[in-house]
């Protein structure tokens, strides 16, 4: 993955581009369940990036920030417009794994810090690289900086414009623009809604403007397929087959974990489960520091079902960075009559689903199903781009579950 100058960067999604780097997470520093958002000017507001490298020793890693517009395309700003000081920082915090079969180095980075401080609101891409090869990006992660000038409220309902208590959920959003100094809220605001960190809908205009408020209601992008609760497994103890685990086996030099065979859940009855909205958390039973004590396991997924006539099946969750690529694509095994995938994953608590692409959004999810009762996480992001402005400001955020 080459890092190219502004105007040429194509891939701005979360991604890990070196196979030795694993378990990348970025989140609000106060709580791993928080979205990676820095509140501009708020003391203590920060985001944390963490990841591992399968290696015997640490190396000299640096990072830089790229400012992006609301659509995650690089903005036209120069570095001094959006970063205080030099846009180069070193990752100082690292630790070697302890008592693990797979040796690795765990890294942490918190922003803002003494070296690098974002100056303005908007979308940011954090890129990590080796000091000896700055053009080769090892991994990258998205985060946001918000001014929090416009409070947002939202209502989520299963009574939608397309069905009632069936396969969809619909949102109604109010933006309190009173006193925000927005000259033309109808044309200058853009609302993004992200479901479970992946599916994103865009609204370039509110439905209507009333004094002090922008109202988003009864617009097609406010309607989402309801989806289903995430599947889960817990690989926290290799001596005990926990939730979603069929068996552990030591096959030198690694532990292998066989997950319980999965099957399609579409057209079944809905089953409630309070999940992690697709996140994963490193975890080791009886450990005070799973970041460096949890081991890496060869993890075997199996989805037993007939081969689909069209479309490919992918594993979806934060542990695949929610990308559709060779790392998340499953292979059909004719002998097993199942889609299979093997990944090296750190011990922990995992959420995952199976997705099909290409797949028309209007159709029933062929594997997971769509159930109006599903507890989805919706993240609302309100951007402002006034006439003559050179970038999109993030002025309001809200996350509901």
Q: List, in order, residues 6 or more apart from 303 with CB less than 8 Å away.
A: 261, 262, 263, 264, 313, 330, 338, 339, 340, 354, 367
Same CATH topology for 152-227+376-400 and 231-357: the answer is: yes
Q: What is the pLDDT of residues 307-344, one digit of tens each?
A: 999 999 999 999 999 999 999 999 999 999 999 999 99
Residues 40 and 145: their CA atoms lie apart, in Å, by 6
Query: In percent, how much of the chain has pLDDT > 90?
Result: 93
pLDDT exceeds cutoff 60 at 9:
no
- Find, among 63, 70, 77, 88, the residue nearest to 5 by Cα: 77
235-262: pLDDT as tens digits: 999 999 999 999 999 999 999 999 999 9
Question: Which fold, 15-146?
Answer: Immunoglobulin-like (2.60.40)
Q: Over 60: is that where the pLDDT of 2 sits?
A: no
Q: Hey, where are the domains in the chain? A: 15-146, 152-227+376-400, 231-357
Global pTM value: 0.94
Dump pLDDT digits (tens) for 284-313.
999 999 999 999 999 999 999 999 999 999
Confidence of residue 47 (pLDDT cuts 50, 70, 90): very high
Domain 231-357: CATH class, spelled out: mainly beta
Best CATH choice for the domain 152-227+376-400 from the list 2.130.10.10, 3.20.20.70, 2.60.40.10, 3.30.9.10: 2.60.40.10
pLDDT of residue 85: 82
* Predicted pLDDT at 363: 58
For residue 119, what are its two tokens?
Answer: 């100056």
Helix (H, G, I), strand (E, B) or coil at 1: coil
Specify the DSSP class assigned to residue 2.
B
Query: To the nearest whole number, what is the mean pLDDT of the chain?
Result: 95
**pLDDT (0 to 100) of residue 234:** 98
Q: What is the pLDDT of residue 86?
A: 86
| Res. 6: pLDDT tops 70 | no
Looking at 296-360, which runs of residues are DSSP E strands?
A: 296-304, 312-316, 331-333, 338-346, 348-357
Confirm if 20 and 59 have CB atoms less than 8 A apart: no
């Amino acid at each position: 993955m080459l890092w190219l100058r502004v105007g040429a960067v194509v891939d701005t999604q979360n991604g890990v581009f070196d196979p030795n780097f694993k378990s990348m997470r970025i989140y609000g520093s106060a709580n791993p369940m928080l979205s990676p958002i820095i509140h501009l000017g708020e003391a203590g507001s920060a985001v944390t990036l963490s990841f591992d490298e399968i290696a015997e020793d640490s190396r000299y890693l640096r990072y830089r920030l790229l400012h992006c517009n609301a659509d995650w395309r690089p903005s036209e700003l120069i570095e001094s417009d959006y970063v205080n000081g030099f846009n180069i920082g070193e990752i100082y915090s690292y630790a070697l794994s302890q008592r693990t079969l797979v040796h690795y180095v765990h890294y942490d980075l918190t922003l803002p810090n003494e070296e690098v401080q974002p100056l303005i609101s908007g979308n940011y891409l954090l890129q990590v690289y080796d000091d000896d090869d700055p053009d080769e990006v090892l991994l990258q992660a998205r985060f946001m900086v918000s001014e929090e000038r416009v409070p947002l409220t939202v209502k989520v309902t299963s009574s939608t414009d397309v069905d009632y208590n069936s396969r969809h959920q619909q949102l109604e959003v109010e933006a309190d623009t009173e006193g925000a100094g927005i000259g033309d809220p109808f044309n200058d605001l853009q609302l993004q809604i992200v479901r479970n960190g992946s599916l994103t809908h865009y609204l370039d205009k509110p439905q209507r403007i009333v004094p002090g408020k922008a109202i988003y209601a009864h617009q097609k992008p406010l309607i989402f397929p309801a989806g289903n609760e995430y599947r889960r497994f817990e690989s926290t103890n290799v001596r005990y087959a926990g939730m979603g685990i069929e068996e552990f086996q030591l096959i030198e030099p690694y532990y292998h974990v066989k997950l319980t065979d999965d099957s399609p859940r579409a057209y079944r009855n809905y089953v409630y489960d309070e999940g992690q909205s697709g996140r994963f958390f490193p975890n080791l039973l009886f450990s005070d520091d799973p970041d460096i004590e949890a081991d890496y396991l060869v993890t075997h997924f199996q989805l037993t079902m007939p081969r689909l006539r069209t479309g490919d099946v992918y594993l979806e969750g934060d542990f695949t960075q929610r990308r559709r690529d060779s790392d998340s694509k499953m292979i059909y095994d004719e002998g097993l009559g199942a889609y299979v995938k093997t990944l090296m994953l750190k011990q922990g608590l995992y959420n995952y689903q199976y997705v099909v692409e290409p797949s028309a959004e209007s159709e029933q999810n062929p594997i997971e199903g769509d159930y109006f009762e599903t507890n989805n996480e919706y993240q609302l992001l309100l951007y402002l781009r006034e006439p003559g402005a050179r970038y999109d400001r993030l002025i309001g955020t809200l996350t509901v579950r």
